[in-house]
Structure 1
Amino acid sequence: MTVINAGPPTTLRHARVPEDGMYEGPRTLRRLPEGWQERPYELFEVVPQGCTIGAEVRGVDLGRPLGDALREELNRALLEWKVLFFRGQHLTSAQQRAFARNWGELETNPLLASGSTDDVVRFDKGSGSVPTFENVWHADVTFRERPALGAVLQLRETPPLGGDTMWADMAAAYDNLPQEVKDRVDGASAVHDYIPGFARFYGPERLAPLQDVFPPVEHPVVRTHPETGRRMLFVNTSFTTRITGMEREESDRLLRFLFQQAHVPEYQVRFRWQAGDVAFWDNRATQHYAVNDYGSHRRVAERVAIAGDRPF
């Protein structure tokens, strides 16, 4: 009997992965807004640390007053790289505050420990300390009507290993959303509330007295950067509770998918600290994640935040 080889099968068995998971594959990585005119930096050196986000700035002493030209060029670098790193600055709290004030008034935060003044937040972490905002992707104080424009963080003491901070580019996150998801979130608003984020480490007795100070607010799910015009995903795990006008189950499902976008490695930069280093980031365009992998070792940081405007 003659056996005829029919060749490989031409149909596939049924197989699928769960819906609403992370997309795996090539991504569009665009660092600058469309039409942005890129120019060389004249007053300092910029060393990229990531594809779309993160650059080390060399040749600037942040402890000295900034002239108009230097402030303008640093602001352009911030808009283009979203987070800037400055090694070995060793600023006093007064110098750190003075640098940040070049970008606006400073915020206070009654929910976090203060340093030498009310507008300096001090994170002093070691054995037995309250964890606060570590091990979670978030943007700062989006529960405010006008969330922070940015923040300046300096490490005073670093652990012998670990304690890095990561930032994610939320413009890249928006760029790579599936079109059907963009269609759902463009023009949508979401509610932000301080309680979910701070309830991770504070009890009701600490949080309840501030409910009238910080009522829930609504912000666009996709905000527009006021200086670059770039569209950016603006929801985060710590403070975004629901999408306005959606049933709870639908909102939860969509938010879970949107929260996942900060976890994509191609959108991230990771910084390994040394004592005296400073990071300055655009809170409008990024999320960040403080990695608590240093056990009982001590890590001390001080942060000043710059008041922002209402997202649109």
Structure 2
Amino acid sequence: MTLSISPLGTALGAQISGVDLAADLSPAQRDAIEQALLDHQVLFFRDQPLTPNRQARFAAQFGDLHIHPIYPKVADTPQVLILDTAVTDVRDNAIWHTDVTFLPTPALGAVLAAKHVPAYGGDTLWASGIAAFEALSAPLRGLLEGLTATHDFTHSFPLERFGSTAEDLARWEAARRDHPPLSHPVVRTHPVSGRKALFVNEGFTTRIDELAPSESEALLKLLFAHATRPEFTVRWRWQANDVAFWDNRVTQHYAVDDYRPQRRVMHRATILGDAPF
């Protein structure tokens, strides 16, 4: 099978057809999808009814998979987490964020499968950190490349929302202990393409380490607003059995929380990456 690639925007995004993600990919198919990911940063596939096991198998062709410390998981496939608005508070997804930047080696990418979608609403937006960085002035780019920022697990997973029972509290305490705040470059270099991208996000980034608190707050406010300008984004309207695959190293995303009281159920497999530089 030959992939058909339809770009969706100048900054990022492409719809892919001509491949069955539930089948074992040939080396050529796997390489073509990886190249499309490098070129377009987020890929969308329609009509891909993946079981959790098949979703994990597809994702694992691109790297080792992460098991999330907080979210519910599929019982026999813990590498696939469940985002079900009828079960879990997922408000932390309704903010611009890059997944699991509280890890020393944040995710390379993620594969998100739509299992149950509302009749209307519930879109997801992605923003390109590459486009955002390249649109900054040269003096500001030069300043940012010398800075690091702190990323904190508790910023998106506060105790008051994820410690309501004794079991939840124990899980949250273990996650906080295992994931203390850490620092990453404000600008990271893609390990394959070599392109540079902004690597701060409102979900987990709390301060710029080298600056005074007031300076850090002002600069992060500017960067958060700049990074999510409409011209750097693509918006996807979900249908059941859609799959999105994004490069978490150079993007952030926002799940629009505009569909309540309708239900939305998504499954995510997260692919571990390497230390940002």
Using the size of structure 2 for normalisation, the TM-score is: 0.93
Distance 2:200 2:245 in 1: 21
Out of 67, 74, 81, the position equivalent to 1:121 is 81
Q: Which structure 1 residue ranges, 4+ long, deviate > 4 Å from structure 2?
A: none
Deviation at residue 130 of structure 1 after TM alignment: 1.5
Q: Is 1:142 aligned with 2:101?
A: yes
Q: In structure 2, what is the equivalent of residue 289 of structure 1?
A: 254
Distance 1:290 1:214 in 2: 24
SS at match of 2:25: coil
Determine if contact 2:91/2:257 at 8 Å carries over to the other structure: no
Q: In structure 2, what is the equivalent of residue 228 of structure 1?
A: 193
1:225 partner letter: H
Q: Is 1:97 aligned with 2:97?
A: no
Distance 2:110 2:88 in 1: 23
SS at match of 1:241: strand
Q: Which runs of 5+ in 1 are unaligned?
A: 1-41
Q: How far does the alpha carbon of each residue in 1:125-155 deviate from its partner, in whole angstroms, 9 at most, with x for none?
A: 14x8523433200000001000000000000
Q: In structure 2, what is the equivalent of residue 112 of structure 1?
A: 71
Q: What is the identity percentage for the equivalent residue pairs of Structure 1 and Structure 2?
A: 45
Distance 1:211 1:164 in 2: 30
Q: Over aligned residue pairs, what C-alpha RMSD do you find? A: 1.6
Deviation at residue 178 of structure 1 after TM alignment: 2.4
Within a 5 Å distance, the mapping from 1:1-312 to structure 2 comes to 43-116=2-75, 117-126=77-86, 129-199=88-158, 201-203=161-163, 205=169, 207-312=172-277
Q: How far does the alpha carbon of each residue in 1:164-210 deviate from its partner, in whole angstroms, 9 at most, with x for none?
A: 11100110000011233212211211111101111173349453333
Distance 1:133 1:211 in 2: 16
Distance 1:284 1:59 in 2: 26
Q: Which runs of 5+ in 2 are unaligned?
A: none
* Residues matched between the structures, number: 270
Distance 1:234 1:129 in 2: 27
Determine if contact 1:195/1:207 at 8 Å carries over to the other structure: no
SS at match of 2:267: strand
2:274 partner letter: D
Structure (1 or 2) with the greater helix fraction: 2
